[in-house]
Every structure is written in C-alpha cells, then in structure tokens.
Amino acid sequence: MPNMQMTKTPVTEQDPKVRARNFKEVCLGYTEEEAKFEAQRCLNCKHRPCVSGCPVGVRIPDFIAKVAAGEFMEAYNIIKSTNSLPAISGRVCPQENQCEGKCVRGIKGEPVAIGRLERFCADYAMNHADEVEKVEKPQSNGHKVAVVGAGPSGLTCAGDLAKQGYDVTIFEAFHTAGGVLMYGIPEFRLPKAIVQKEIDNLKDLGVNVMTNMVIGKVLSIDELMNDGFEAVFVGSGAGLPRFMGIDGEALVGVYSANEYLTRINLMKAYLEDYETPIKKSKSVAVVGGGNVAMDAARSAMRLGAEHVYIVYRRSMDELPARKEEVHHAMEEGIEFMLLNNPTKIIGDENGNVCGIECIKMELGEPDESGRRRPVEIAGSEFVIDVDTVIMSIGTSPNPLIRSTTPGVEANKRGCLIVNEETNQTTKEGVYAGGDAVTGAATVILAMGAGKKAAASIDEYIKGKN
C-alpha cells in the first residue's frame, strides 16, 4: 500500500538552540522504519521524471522500491552504480531544484524525500561495511593520468579511471584532499569523516594522492606530461574570492568567506587543541545571500557570536541560498538584514573593524538575470555595530593554471574553455571540469563533469595507443 501522506516523513534534527553552539551534524537522518515509510510515498512512475532531474541519472524509483522492501544494501548498490559519492550528495545536493523538483508527489504536497533516502542508504552501507561488495584494485593497464585538485570533480575522475586500471595520481594544493567538501562545507552539514572515508576508498583502488602540490608552482602541467602522464584532468575549482571594492576591506576583522571557512573546517579553528587563529567575534556581518554566506554565518554563531547578520541587497524572494539552509539559519538565530547594501567598513584607531555602513535598497525593474534590480534609496545610510565582516559575494577560478599552461584558454570570467562533448580543454590531452569550467556551481555537477572527462580520457588514451 502506498503511503499517501502529503508531506515528507519528518527527520530528527538537533534542537536549534543546542546545535547553534556546536559543530555536530544538524540532521540526524532517518531510522530504518522512517526510511521504509517515506519510500512507500513513491508511486514508481512509469515516465520517471525524478531521474531526468538528476545530473548523474541515479535510478531513483528502483532504489526507493528496494528501501520500501527493506533491502537497503541492494538500494545502496543501485545508487552507487551511477553516483560514486552518495553519502555526500544525499547531504548537500540541492534536491529541490533537481530530482525532488520533478517528483510528481510534489504537485499536490511535498515531493518524496529522495535526498534523505539516498543519505539513509549511504549511511546504512557505511554502518554495514562488512556487507559492502569490495571493489578489487584492478590490474594496471600501464597508462598514467594526472588529476589536478582533489575536489568532487577530481575525486570522481580519479575513481572512474582507477577502476579501469589507470595509474592515477592526484596533485592537491592543500595538505588534505577533498576540496570544498573538506575546506568549505562545515562539519555540521557534512561530517569530514564521511569525506575522508570516500578518499580512503580511492586510495584502496590504488589512486596516489599527493598533497601540498600546487600545480603551476611546484610543477607545471607541461612538466607532468613530459614526466609520462598521458593525460591531465584539471579540477582546480573556483576558490578565488571576490571583494566589493569598498573602503575598509583591508581592516583587521574582514575575511573572505573562503578564508573564514577554511580556517574553521580544514584548519579546525573551532577545536581548542588546534592553534589556528580565528577571531572570537561578538557581532558579525556576513555580506551575501548564497549557501556560502549561510555556512559562514552559522559557523560564526557556533564560534560564540551574540549577533550574526546576513546583509543582502535584494529581498527574501531573490535570496539564492537553499530554502532548507535559510530555514536552519533562522532557527539558529541568524538575523536577516534584507534590502541593504554595504557602502563602507568602519575601523577604530587600531585598524580593527567596529562597524559596517549600509544603504537601504528597493527593488526596481528585472535585470538581465531576470531578478529585480536593487536600487539605492538616497540618504538612507545607517551603521551596524560589528567587529567582524565576512565577504561572501562569490568566487572565480584561480588564474594559476591558465597562466602557466600554454594552449589552455579561458573565457572572460576566467573559466577554462572545454569541448562540451568531451571536456577536453583547448590543449590536447588536458581535460577539465567542475567549478574551474562552470564557475561556482554544485557538487553533483562537478562529479558529473569528472565522470564525463574520465570516459573521454579513456577513449583518448586508447585511441592514441
């Protein structure tokens, strides 16, 4: 019998007051009974609209049918056949714009909780590791491939090639692999032990991970190719922060969201036994309205701030962050100062931030993005007393790779140009994908690009030999 409840089966979450002061995971996931009950909401539609909304084509109704039958490991194996990082995508994918956005149960009521079910299956498999079919390290085919960057695009590309016998080395600039999954998305949304497990699985497949290797500085891509790597995949992300160019951005207490989150996540500034310096702020303004801004604001709250403001120049309707993240942030006490734009950051006599001046905005006609353009209200400037400002207004790809690799071209936004069919850059043998190509996007799109590039690299090397 299908479960005809109009709303998703609720999931247990940490109490907002408690979790706002700790870094433990917010969502605790479904129990077996809850997962089975939710899975019974799926109608197993013939035309499978949910699958068309998934960038990696997970066979959604098939895995959900297995969950409904209590065959959780079988469900996991179905997901894993097209999605190499389900514990991660089940937690961070914007499902409301993808699979769940297409689910027919969402027409009258809430869609099936596909993301929560995916996460349930991945966690079940992790807790029953002895039952998971081990992927044996394949026999080497003698061909070497280099991957630059250990984010989701690089990890996926490396995994797919290693499974086919390639000798893959990942070169990662940071001291830890994982990309944004490790340095950006906070522990309370994506526990780092889960990401580490996926990296360990890759190492078991024979992938060599070399950290502290900034390609373009330590070695160039041409040097890698001269060293016997027959192809290179560039998955170097879009980690270069933007600033507004207003007065006061060089004051002590102004961070980019990337730096702030890297100190907290990768360098563990929130743990007392780590020496990473981070400001213990009382009052924080986070400028921007995306997921990164929500992560920075919620992290500042967890570090003990009394007031954390989101300063965003449009209204709630245009706020780009996921609804779930905004809801969680509000529950945790983040204050939303909408239709406000910073005009300058104010410092005290020692050069420390002591305030941010903003101007009130109203919405005018839609701009080229289709969103209503924010327009300043003359003379409406006011000051918010803060000791920390976190800029979260976007990022772009770092120019290092394109400036040190002759033949690799980029567009006006600094994103590497690739052939959409193959993901090859403008240089033979060099492929790219993820945020380095699209600009800041999503984990699942980066994984999809890594997968596509791996298939093209395999074809290229086989064709050449």
Closest distance to ligand SF4 from the beta carbon of 111 (Å): 6
Cα–Cα distance, 344 to 440 (Å, whole number): 26
Strand partners, 344: 247, 357
Near ligand FAD in 291-330, by CB under 6 A: 291-292, 295
Measured from the CB atom, is 305 or 444 closer to ligand FAD? 444
Closest distance to ligand FAD from the beta carbon of 162 (Å): 17
Terminal C-alpha separation, the chain: 56
Binding partner at 27 among ligand FAD, ligand SF4, none, C-beta below 5 to 8 Å by kind: none
Q: Which stretch binds ligand FAD (CB under 6 A): 3-11, 61-69, 151-159, 247-255?
A: 151-159
Cα–Cα distance, 242 to 249 (Å, whole number): 11
Torsion of CA 395, 172, 76, 189, to 10 degrees: -40
Near ligand FAD in 165-194, by CB under 6 A: 171-174, 179-180, 184-185
Q: Residues, the chain, total?
A: 465
Total interface residues for ligand FAD by CB under 6 A: 42
The pair of structure tokens assigned to 164 is 């086919």
Q: Which stretch binds ligand SF4 (CB under 6 A): 78-86, 98-106, 366-374, 380-388?
A: 98-106
CA distances from 138 to 42, 48, 129 (A): 37, 34, 20
State yes or no: residue 110 binds ligand SF4 (CB under 6 A): no
Question: Of 457, 7, 1, 464, which is closest to residue 232 (Cα–Cα)?
Answer: 457
State yes or no: residue 117 binds ligand SF4 (CB under 6 A): no
Q: Which stretch binds ligand SF4 (CB under 6 A): 39-47, 192-200, 207-215, 456-464?
A: 39-47
- Going by the DSSP 8-state scheme, the letter that residue 252 receives in this structure is B
Near ligand SF4 in 227-266, by CB under 6 A: none
Among 3, 5, 37, 49, binds ligand SF4 (CB under 6 A): 49
Among 78, 114, 121, 293, binds ligand SF4 (CB under 6 A): 114
SS3 396: strand
**Residue whose tokens read 């980029």:** 410
Question: Of 265, 158, 171, 159, which is closest to residue 214 (Cα–Cα)?
Answer: 171
Binding footprint of ligand FAD on the chain (CB under 6 A):
92-94, 148-154, 171-174, 179-180, 184-185, 213-216, 235-237, 239, 261, 291-292, 295, 398, 400-401, 434-436, 440-444, 446
